[in-house]
Every structure is written in structure tokens, then in C-alpha cells.
Amino acid sequence: MTAGTTARQWPAPAPAAAEHGGFWRAVLAEWTKFRSVRGLVIGTVVAALAMLLVGLFAAGSARFTCPGGPGFPTKTGAACLPRIPRGPGGQAVTDSFYFVHQPLAANGSITAAVTSLTGVHAAGNGQTGAGPGGAGPLAGMTKGIVGWAKAGIIIKTSTSQGTAYAAMMATGGHGVRMQYDFTQDIAGLAGQVSPSAPRWLRLTRSGDTITGYDSADGSRWARVGTVRLTGLPATVQAGLFVTSPVETQTTSSFGGTTSNGGPSQATGIFGHVSLSGAAPGKAWAGANIGAGRGSPGTGVGGFHQAGGAITVTGSGDIAPVVAGPTSYFPTATIEDHLVGTFAGLIAMAVIAAMFITTEYRRGLIRLTLAATPRRGEVLAAKAVVVGAVTFAAGLAASVIAVVAGPRLSRDMGLYVLPVSLPTGLRVIAGTAALLAVAAVFALALGTVLRRSAVAVTAAIVLLVLPYILGVASVLPAGPAEWLLRVTPAAAFAIQQSVPAYHQVSGPYGPPVYFPLGPWSGFAVLCGWTALALGLATYLLRRRDA
Amino acid sequence: MNESIEVTGLRKRFGPVLALDGMTFAVPPGQVTGFVGPNGSGKSTTMRVILGLDAPDEGHALVGGRPYASLTRPLTRLGSLLDAGALQPGRTARNHLLWLARSQGLSARRVDELIGQAGLELAARRRAGGYSLGMRQRLGIAAAMLADPPAVMFDEPVNGMDPEGIVWVRGFLRSLAAEGRAVLVSSHLMSELEDTADHLVIVGRGRVIADTSTAELLAKASGGRVVVRTTAADRAAAVLTGDGGTVAPAGPGALTVSGLPAARVLTVLSGNGVPVSEVAAHRASLEEAYLELTASSVEYRAAGEMAREVAR
């Protein structure tokens, strides 16, 4: 060191206002600290790898098999993948129904009165009663109509599955609805259809615009909705349809939630059917759309005309595919490949908490605070470093998981539900952000509690435990959903890529479906983190170091 | 511009313990100020208050006229070493200095320069977990000098150092003062500061007992006594007493004489033909001075206990 013997003069300290970049210096110092401890760097890599491997292992663990047809060997893996139609919005859809149709020109309308809607469904669902008996697809089924059985009128681009449509319908338990393009649903008249309470339905087409009306008496009509189906061709198919979906029954108790469902079938009777704008001389044609292998229905369908009434029987659904165990083919979601997130989260919580607790243990915090006396800046700099490092590691792991995972799942014979690009990006970046904010939360807990073991335990109890209890089918649905609403684990909702639809019966519970939306769930974690950071800043400023 | 450290009326209570009880002193530039007192007398607490780490219940501490916590790039104003063990075991010395440098907006070049000056080249790329205590002290001192501050503060810097290291630290502290820096160095052993400190702040029970220059303290404690070494102690004692001196034995063949200056003692003894091997003015050690000081401080009832501690 310098060993001069002549006294020196030091410049006067600059006034505080003249100095800038204090926070940036603190960030650089904290980043230097982080990268210079091998344990923290290796731990971050391990966290990303753990997250990736757990997710990919879960995806690639089971190879599906399916019958190969008469005289053919059993198929496995990708050969079993069903051909699932995609709706106009790109999502996987079910498009199976019995369609009694005629061509319709650019302008026209169709009107019909539904006077009866009855059905049968798999035993054990809903009402019980004597089965129709006999062999074949209806063996062992029970009389009764499922809630989302549909009988109504439809205008559709073509008879191909997945094409754009708009429909007015009476339902088994949800009154009259106007639905279009698989995901959209507007409520009309309430109440059950019966011969004494018929439901009059009308659709009018004017170019791309279709308007739906309903009426209880055929004279006073109410408009239900007007929709635009862009790119509708000049000649479309219009007519009557009946379909009846798989209805999911979910039972919930301690020890978990179980869902099951089976096919159902419905029969609708239509009167006062009229079509304007149809090509002259055409007759009604019947088509069992989407029947056969891969159909969710019984496969039964048909129609007959008698005395001005048309009776139509159909099975299946016109709706988006929802994920979950009751789907009639093995499905996966992109976020299934991110189940390792909790493992990465545990590792990053340990790293983030220890980023400050080891300073307390070694007394290094005094040197840190002597170098940067603005204590809020120290905590903020640590949060920036831990958050950025975790975001980068989480982003790398989730990009690989979401890109490579679905390929692996498809090879195993799982149908991976497609998502739009914005949804995919939200899931990937959201997972990284979830990890980053959770790491900052653990850092704040470490600052408040000052001891590694206590802070890491607190972080895991608040973040990981509610997630595992919420999604692992150990609690009944009520408490599980409550945990996923109020604890920081609510943020896992940001990984949900397939929305729940009220007009589709499904197993809408964890682990696929979260009670809160993606961003509101994430906001719950951010709220907890803001509180923890606030408390940490207050205590760090107030306590002697 | 006042570069010194000023501490005014610090009072701080930790539960039932009054750690600081009106601590007041100043550290001027250009000299080494020793901060002495037994363990638990408030030295470390005072230093933490100076660094803004602990908040005092009353009073204030200023560095260059400003509270430490209000300084931007504070290591450029005051370098300190409180705890040489405050290291992350997995981090190398170079990276330890590097993060500190980053926090002050200093370059990596300054770090490498400092490593060379502190003789840490061999240790610089090894992880701190394997350092000896002496090596940690060296690293801690280097860290304090990182931003070339006009004031430095070391808490027990020679603890655990080998004799060679202790000699190096003493020389180093002198050179810092010679450069015009204010140097505050604490110790619970007076002897450690004997040849180093220009000025002493002696504390006990959280307050200053004496604030004096080292030379003054020694002069006061010596009290004009003269040491005589002779083979005829009895005769010497008789003639010196006869000349008005007060004589006390000071071991075999040695006497301590007070009331007579050294020159008069020599004249009297040689005039009476008493053989003498040495006549010298007594030089009190700092321990003696310290004991005398604390013994006279009647309200300080633990003085004996403290003295034992200091003399250890």
C-alpha cells in the first residue's frame, strides 16, 4: 500500500445531489457478488435443469396404445394421435352432430320451432331411470337429457368439421342460446323446451352478418345476437342440428377430486321449419358430421320427416375441446411440460433467500450497508439481480420445455391442445416471471427472517405447499381452489393455456384449470411480494445491522 | 474542510445494558488515535454508530462533518475494518474487493493495483473460506483502503496476526497518519498501541475516561521517578534518604527514587562513593499509566477488573 510521508489533501465530498447512479452501482455490486459465488451460479443452472427434466420426464413417461383396427396390430405412440378439427380461432374443437341441411345463398333465413328435446346418457350421470336396454352403443344408458344437449338451427360454411358457423338452439338445461365459432355463447330465452312450451328460433344471413332471434310463440321475436363470420362463402349450409355432449361428473372429497363422464345422445323434434333464400328444388339432406372413430358421441344419428315435423337424433358436441381426464382421447396442454416449475421454484427460493441470509450469517451485511448506506437501494439492487437471473434461467427452461415437450408428448400419443402464439408466449414468459417474482418474494422473506433455514421454509410453505396441495388431488375442490386464490401459488394460473368455457361441461379444477385468471393469479403473487418487500425494507432500515 | 471523525454524546441501550453512555471524542487528521478500553466498553458499538450501522438513542457521529449514511460513495471518505471474518467463504479475495469497488464506482484496475500493494497476489484467486485469520485481516485492511479514503477506522486490526504482521500493521498505520489521514484504531490491549498511537481515547462502560496525547499520559504516570541500579542498595538508600529523597526497593539491586532529579541522585551517590551501574529517569509503560488513571477514577468500580484485562 501507499507509504508516502507527505501529507495529502483530499477533495471535499461531492454534495449528495451531484452524485448519480448510486442505485446502478449497487446493482453492479450485487451482480458481482452473485456471479462470484459458485454455489449460487451452479444452483441457478440446477434449478433450470430440474424444472426442465421434471417437466419432460412427466411428458415422456407413458406411451399410449390404441387398437389398430380389424386384422391390424395394436398401434402405439404417435400413430394413435386422433385427427382433431381446429376451429376458426385455431383451437381444437369438437364438431360432431347430426346435420339436416340445404344450401343457402348470400341472403336468406331459416326458422324452426323446437317442440321436444329428450335423450339418454351414460349410466351414473345425473338422473337415474330404466335403461333403454338392448345391445349396441346405447347399452346400459339411462334416460334423461344432459344440460348441454343441443337442438336448433345452424348456418355453417360447409359440412366440413371446424368451419365457421352461427347457431340458435334449445338446450337440455340452459335455455335458448346463440352460439358461434365454437367459443362464443349468448343466452336467449330461459326455460325447458316441451310440446306446451316450444322454442321458436330464427337465423337471418346478410352477407357475413348473421342475426339470431328467439320467440316463445312464433309471433313476438326477440333478437339474441348479431355476429360477423368473416370470409363466409356465397353459398353456405343451413339447417337443423342435434347433438349431445359428454357430461362430466366431478365428485370432490378428502383424498381428491375425481371426474368421469360418458357419451350421451339427444333427439329433437322441429316444427314450422322454413327456409328462405334456398336454392329451388333442393330437399333436406342428412349428414352425421364427425361420426366414427375419434367422435365423442355414440355414433348414432339420423332424421325423419312426418306430418310437417322433422325428428333429428344426434350425439357429440359443437364446442372447443377442454383439457382434462374426461376427454375422449388422451390430451395434454403445453403447461403439462412445465410441471417442473415447482422444482425450479424451490431451488430458486433457496438461492434467493440465501443471497441475503448468508450475509447476515457472516456479518457481511455490515460491509454491504457500509458500502451502500441507503438500505432500500441495497434491497432493491438484490431484488433486481435475483429477479433478472431467475427470469433468464426460467425463460430458458420454459422455452425448451414448451417447444420440446409437446413433440415428446405427441410421440407418446398424447394430443397437445394447440394454443395461439400470444397464449404460448404468455405461458412461457409468465412462467419465467412467476419464478422471478417468487425469487424476489423469497429474498424479501430472507431479509425479514435473516436466517436461511427459516426463510427457505417460509418461502416453501407459502409458495410451493399451497400449489402442491391445490393441484395434487389431495384436498376437496373447495379448499384446493381457495388455496389457489389467496396464496402466492395463485400465480401458477399464468401457466393455464386452455380456457374454461361455461358452455362446455368439463373437469374445471386444478391442476389444469385455476380459479383465477392468468393475470389476476399472477397479481396475487405480486401483491404478496410487494407486502413482503415493504416489510423487508422497513425492517432493514429500522433494525441495527 | 474537517476530515476527522467526530462523535458527540452517543447513548445507546441494548435491553438492560447501557452500551454507550455519552461517548464523545474526535479523531483529527494526520495522527493515529488509539481507542482503548476493555472488551464490552463500547468501542465496537461506537464504530458501528459511526458507520450508520447502529442507530444511537441519543447523540450523533459525523464523518468529515456529515453523517456517514448521507455520504455518496462513502468508502471514499472513510475506510473501515470491523470484522475480518465478514467474508463469503466461496468468494475469492479479488471478487470480494471487486464487488466493493463496483459499489463505489471504482474500476477492476484499482482492485488489481490494491492486491499488488497489499501483497495478496497469491491469495487473490483463492476462495476466502481457506484464509488464515491474518490473511483475512490483510484483506480487510486492503478493503478499507480500496477507495483511498482520508479517514480510516480499524477495530482490533492485529488480532490473530503473527508478529511479523503486527509490525507491518504498526508501520502501515504510522504511514497512513504521515500521509495526513485520520486514523482511529481500537484495541483492548494498551501495549499494542504503545509505539503506534499519537493520541489515546480511553473508554470504559460506554464513556470516555481519558482523552489525551500518549506523551502527556506517560509523563503524568512517570511522576519524576528515577531508577538506580547498584550493588550497595542499602548504602544508596541511606544517603539518598539523607538528601531528602523517598526510596523504594524495585527488585534485586534496584531502587526507585522520587523527590530528586536524576542528576542530583548521581551527584549524591558518587559524592558518597556508592558504586552505581545505572541511573535513569523512570519511563512508565502505558499499562502503568492506564492503571493509575483508572485507579484514580473512583466512580469506576470495575477498574480493577478492567485493569487486569488491559494488562493481560
What are the tens digits of pLDDT across the range A143-200? 889 999 999 999 999 999 999 999 999 999 999 999 999 999 999 999 999 999 999 9
Interface with A, mutate which of B62, B81, B102, B152 (most A CBs under 10 A): B102
Rama region for B167: left / alpha / beta (φ>0; ψ in -120 to 50; rest):
alpha
Nearest neighbour of B64 by CB, restricted to A13, A32, A373: A13
Q: Which residue has the higher pLDDT, A504 or B101?
A: B101
Q: What is the mean pLDDT of residues A69-96?
A: 84
pLDDT of amino acid A382? 98
pLDDT classification of A326: cutoffs 50, 70, 90: low
Give, to the nearest 10 degrees, the angle between helix A375-411 and helix A421-449: 140
Contact B42, B23 (CB under 8 A): yes
Task: For residues A334 and A320, give the distance between their C-alpha atoms in angstroms, rounded to a whole number.
Answer: 16
pLDDT of A115 above 90: yes
Nearest to A324 by CA among A415, A425, A405: A415
pLDDT in 10s for each residue of chain B, 312 residues: 455 899 999 999 999 999 999 999 999 999 999 999 888 889 999 999 999 999 999 999 999 999 999 998 999 999 999 999 999 999 999 999 999 999 999 999 999 999 988 888 888 899 998 898 888 998 999 999 999 999 999 999 988 788 888 898 999 999 999 999 999 999 888 778 878 999 999 998 899 999 998 888 877 776 677 888 888 888 888 888 888 888 888 888 888 888 888 888 888 888 888 888 888 877 767 777 777 666 654 344 444 444 444 444
**β-strands A209-215, A75-76 pairing:** unpaired
Residue B75: all three cell numbers together: 468508502
Hey, are the CB atoms on B91 and A362 less than 8 Å from each other?
no
Q: Where are the beta strands (DSSP E) in A383-535?
A: 415-416
pLDDT of amino acid A256? 59
Supply the DSSP symbol for A47: H
Q: What type of residue is A158? A: S
* Cα-based distances in Å from A220 to A130, A189, A197, A216, A300: 39, 12, 14, 8, 36
Flag whether residue B117 sits within 8 Å of chain A, measured between CB atoms: yes
pLDDT of amino acid A137? 61
For residue B14, list its beta bridge partners: B17
**β-strands B182-187, B151-155 pairing:** parallel
Hey, are the CB atoms on B53 and A371 less than 8 Å from each other?
no
Task: For residues B206 and B54, give the distance between their C-alpha atoms in angstroms, rounded to a whole number.
Answer: 15
**β-strands A256-262, A247-253 pairing:** antiparallel
Chain A closest-CA separation from residue B179 CA (Å)? 4
Task: For residues A153 and A101, give the distance between their C-alpha atoms in angstroms, rounded to a whole number.
Answer: 9
Question: Peptide bond before A85: cis, by omega within 30 degrees of 0?
Answer: no
Residue A160: all three cell numbers together: 366440413
pLDDT of amino acid B312? 46
Task: For residues A49 and A187, give the distance between their C-alpha atoms in angstroms, rounded to a whole number.
Answer: 48
Nearest neighbour of A25 by CB, restricted to B92, B104, B179: B104
Nearest to A409 by CA among A47, A55, A48, A49: A55
* Cα-based distances in Å from B267 to A409, B195, B239, B254: 111, 33, 11, 17
Q: What is the mean pLDDT of residues A378-397?
A: 98
pLDDT classification of A309: cutoffs 50, 70, 90: very high
Rama region for B147: left / alpha / beta (φ>0; ψ in -120 to 50; rest):
alpha
Give the per-residue SS3 of A336-400. HHHCCHHHHHHHHHHHHHHHHHHHHHHCHHHHHHHHCCCHHHHHHHHHHHHHHHHHHHHHHHHHH
Q: Which residue has the higher pLDDT, A333 or A72?
A: A333
Hey, are the CB atoms on B74 and A371 less than 8 Å from each other?
yes
Alpha-carbon Rg of chain A, whole angstroms? 30
Residue A279: all three cell numbers together: 336454392
DSSP string, A79-104: GG-----B-TTS-BEEE-EEEEEEEE
Secondary-structure percent of chain A, ordered helix, strand, coil, rounded to 5: 40, 25, 35
Hey, are the CB atoms on B68 and A12 less than 8 Å from each other?
no
Nearest to B293 by CA among B311, B268, B270: B311
Q: What type of residue is A83? A: R
Task: For residues A153 and A180, give the distance between their C-alpha atoms in angstroms, rounded to a whole number.
Answer: 12
pLDDT-above-90 percentage for chain A: 65
Nearest to A540 by CA among A350, A351, A382: A382
Q: What type of residue is A300? A: V
Contacts of A135 (CB under 8 A, 6+ apart): none
Q: What type of residue is A297? A: G
Give, to the nearest 10 degrees, the angle between helix A364-371 and helix A375-411: 110
Q: Which residue has the higher pLDDT, A508 or B107?
A: B107
Flag whether residue B150 sits within 8 Å of chain A, measured between CB atoms: yes
pLDDT of A125 above 50: no
What are the tens digits of pLDDT across the range A32-57? 999 999 999 999 999 999 999 998 88
Q: What is the mean pLDDT of residues A130-145?
A: 64
pLDDT of A124 above 80: no
Of A169-173, A310-314, A519-523, B117-121, which range is least confident? B117-121
Q: Is the ipTM of this complex over 0.95?
A: no
Q: Where are the beta strands (DSSP E) in chain B?
A: 5-14, 17-27, 32-36, 58-63, 78-81, 151-155, 182-187, 199-204, 207-213, 226-229, 246-249, 254-258, 278-281
Q: Estimate to the nearest angstrom the gap between the alpha carbon of A283 and the chain centroid.
A: 42
For residue B7, list its beta bridge partners: B25, B61
Contact A11, B184 (CB under 8 A): no
Q: What type of residue is A313? A: T
* Cα-based distances in Å from A94 to A64, A84, A244, A381, A536: 21, 7, 11, 51, 51
Secondary-structure percent of chain B, ordered helix, strand, coil, rounded to 5: 40, 25, 35
Supply the DSSP symbol for A301: -
> What strands, in cross-sheet order, belong to the sheet with B226-229?
B246-249, B254-258, B226-229, B278-281
Task: For residues A2 and B176, give the distance between their C-alpha atoms in angstroms, rounded to a whole number.
Answer: 8
Task: For residues B189 and B19, give the distance between their C-alpha atoms in angstroms, rounded to a whole number.
Answer: 20
Q: What type of residue is A261? A: G
pLDDT of amino acid A4? 47
Instruction: Please give the interface size between A and B, counted as residue pairs whose CB atoms are below 8 Å apart.
Output: 140
pLDDT of amino acid B306? 46
Hey, are the CB atoms on B72 and A28 less than 8 Å from each other?
no
**β-strands A302-306, A331-332 pairing:** unpaired
Give chain A's mean pLDDT.
Answer: 88
Chain B closest-CA separation from residue A539 CA (Å)? 13
Q: Kindly identify which residue of chain B lies nearest to residue A17, measuring between CA atoms.
A: B72
Task: For residues A313 and A302, give the distance between their C-alpha atoms in angstroms, rounded to a whole number.
Answer: 5
For residue A97, list its beta bridge partners: A289
Hey, are the CB atoms on A8 and B89 less than 8 Å from each other?
no
pLDDT classification of A274: cutoffs 50, 70, 90: very high
Quote the Cα angle for A295-A297-A303, to 5°. Answer: 110
* Cα-based distances in Å from B103 to A11, A33, A356, A446, B141: 20, 11, 16, 22, 17
Task: For residues A21 and A19, give the distance between their C-alpha atoms in angstroms, rounded to a whole number.
Answer: 7
Flag whether residue B263 sits within 8 Å of chain A, measured between CB atoms: no
Contacts 24+ apart (CB under 8 A), B156-163: B156/B186, B156/B187, B156/B188, B157/B81, B157/B185, B158/B187, B158/B192, B159/B84, B159/B133, B160/B84, B160/B132, B160/B133, B160/B134, B161/B133, B161/B134, B161/B137, B162/B134
pLDDT of A385 above 70: yes
φ, ψ for residue B22, nearest 5 deg: 80, 35
pLDDT of amino acid B55? 96
Chain B closest-CA separation from residue A529 CA (Å)? 26
For residue A75, list its beta bridge partners: A66
Flag whether residue A1 sits within 8 Å of chain B, measured between CB atoms: yes
pLDDT classification of A13: cutoffs 50, 70, 90: low
Contact A377, A23 (CB under 8 A): yes
Nearest to A443 by CA among A425, A431, A435, A455: A455
Nearest neighbour of B70 by CB, restricted to A7, A16, A30: A16
